[in-house]
Amino acid sequence: MKIAVIGSGGREHAICYALSKSPKATEIYCLPGNAGIGRIAKCVDIKVMDFDNIVDFCVKNAIDLAIVAPDDPLVAGLVDRLSAAGIKAFGPEKKAAILEGSKAFSKDLMKKYGIPTAKYENFTELDKAIKYLDNVDYPIVIKADGLALGKGVLICKDYDEAVDALKSMMEGKRFGDAGNTVVIEEFMTGREVSVLSFCDGKTIKVLSSAQDHKRAKDNDEGLNTGGMGTFSPSPFYTDEINEFCMEKIFMPTVKAMEAEGRTFKGVIFFGLMITKDGPKVLEYNARFGDPEAQVVLPRMKNDIVDVMLACIDGTLDKIDIEFEDNAAVCVILASDGYPLSYEKGFEIKGLEKFDNKEDYYCFHAGTALKDGVIVTNGGRVLGVTAKGNTLVEARAKAYEATKWVDFDNKYMRNDIGNAILSK
Ligand code: AMP
Ligand code: GLY
């Protein structure tokens, strides 16, 4: 089969890697891809929001399966466009991708169908939103409704900070139109876990759990980022919690989407908080997580093509998703200054040390090929990942491997997976 992956980050590299192990994937393309992806797929310089050219490319090249990986094109309806052109596409249609595209929609869905989540209200008018702050506990969480590169969530410690946050979103357009509607929600405490799942509209199959580290600096200090490192599985996500989530969160979400006429096919990523009152949904995403995919996909035993086709064809009930009985840890090597401003264009040295090393992966995020040399080209540059028999072993191997590569302004967190050391 000829397969095209839409996207260009570490997640897409992990997807292409999984595809490269499938005997069914005879030709793999990535639009636009990056320097690392280019070693296992043919990169084609078409941007993810350039729908006309993506559809044109897939039709002209008789692509058998297109995989739309990032949130923006999913929410804007790329799967619909591809399907309309006769291309089999993996990912939710626009009307289902709203599960991630609008936090106000997803909160209302959870309320309507009794899915556990933080208490909240949605607002489109600033004065009403400010009035609501009179009767809430602090800290309070304020979220832009729409997509905001994972940065649209502000945790405000007091009334004044909350008023400023509301004004910056609703008046100041800090997140553009994404902040026209805001969600004000209760602050929850507990341990966060990411659970990715495959879904064919009716059946849902969960993947091994993972935990991300979203803040830029050690000890969860600094700004929110796309994610600075992950481990999988999460020892805090027990079988008992999984059973609860399946019954009260996962299946109810799938059924709710179907009942709303928004049948979801693709990956649902449940961002959960395990609170003292049980697991609650922090957010939904309509795609693989980044860098969750980097620790989950290398541990999956199934042929990813079979699973994706089953999601599209509605036959997921016939497939058991199986995982290796091991663990993986991913440490992001970033450009110092991320997520604000940083320099790029520096040569990356030592990448060859990953060649033919079993259990080690160097997933590229922001890299580019310049005059035959691989250089840094983004905030998150590489996702250095290792598998081990245990989380502790995988963590030690991943940190060891971070020393193999070097580039100017290399920055990483040194405490990825520290929580597992005491477990
Ligand atoms: P989200 O994009 O909704 O997952 O939010 C980004 C991050 O903000 C989450 O990973 C949490 O760490 C934090 N967060 C979001 N909502 C809440 C909440 N209601 N209570 C506490 N922390 C939250
Ligand atoms: N790592 C979090 C996300 O992909 O949204």
How far is 65 from 87, CA to CA, in rounded Å?
Answer: 7
Which pLDDT belongs to residue 264? 98
Q: Among 80-94, 168-182, 198-212, 260-274, whose mean pLDDT is lowest?
A: 168-182
Question: Separation of 63 CA from ligand 1 center, angstroms?
Answer: 38
Question: Separation of 248 CA from ligand 1 center, angstroms?
Answer: 20
pLDDT over 90 (residue 105) = yes
Strand partners, 120: 185
| Ligand 2 atom showing the smallest separation from residue 288 Cα | 4
Which pLDDT belongs to residue 224? 86
Which pLDDT belongs to residue 18? 98
pLDDT over 80 (residue 423) = no
- Identify which of 38, 71, 73, 41 has the alpha carbon closest to the alpha carbon of residue 54: 73
Tokens representing 243 are 């059973």
For 290, residues 6+ apart whose C-beta sits below 8 A from its C-beta are 9, 10, 11, 226, 227, 365
At the fourth CATH level, the homologous superfamily of domain 329-422 is: Phosphoribosylglycinamide synthetase, C-terminal domain (3.90.600.10)
pLDDT over 90 (residue 30) = yes
Question: Separation of 185 CA from ligand 1 center, angstroms?
Answer: 10
Let me know: does 290 contact 228? Beta carbons within 8 Å: no
pLDDT over 80 (residue 370) = yes
Model confidence band, residue 223 (pLDDT cutoffs 50, 70, 90) = confident
Let me know: does 91 contact 99? Beta carbons within 8 Å: no
- Identify which of 37, 33, 44 has the alpha carbon closest to the alpha carbon of residue 20: 37
Model confidence band, residue 421 (pLDDT cutoffs 50, 70, 90) = confident
- CATH code that applies to domain 2-94: 3.40.50.20
Percent of the chain at pLDDT > 90 equals: 95
Model confidence band, residue 85 (pLDDT cutoffs 50, 70, 90) = very high
Model confidence band, residue 112 (pLDDT cutoffs 50, 70, 90) = very high
Pocket of ligand 2 (CB under 6 A): 150, 212, 227, 285, 289-290, 292
Let me know: does 293 contact 11? Beta carbons within 8 Å: yes
Pocket of ligand 1 (CB under 6 A): 118, 141, 143, 150, 153, 185-188, 192, 214, 271, 282-283
**Mean pLDDT confidence for 33-43:** 97
Question: Separation of 371 CA from ligand 2 center, angstroms?
Answer: 32
Of 145, 155, 285, the residue with max ligand 1 atoms within 8 A of its CB, to mutate for a pocket test, comes to 155
CATH architecture type of domain 119-186: 2-Layer Sandwich (3.30)
What fold, for 191-318?
D-amino Acid Aminotransferase; Chain A, domain 1 (3.30.470)
Distances (CA, A) of 197 to 73, 296, 349: 20, 11, 36
Model confidence band, residue 148 (pLDDT cutoffs 50, 70, 90) = confident
pLDDT over 80 (residue 422) = no
Distances (CA, A) of 14 to 161, 211, 304, 415: 39, 17, 11, 23
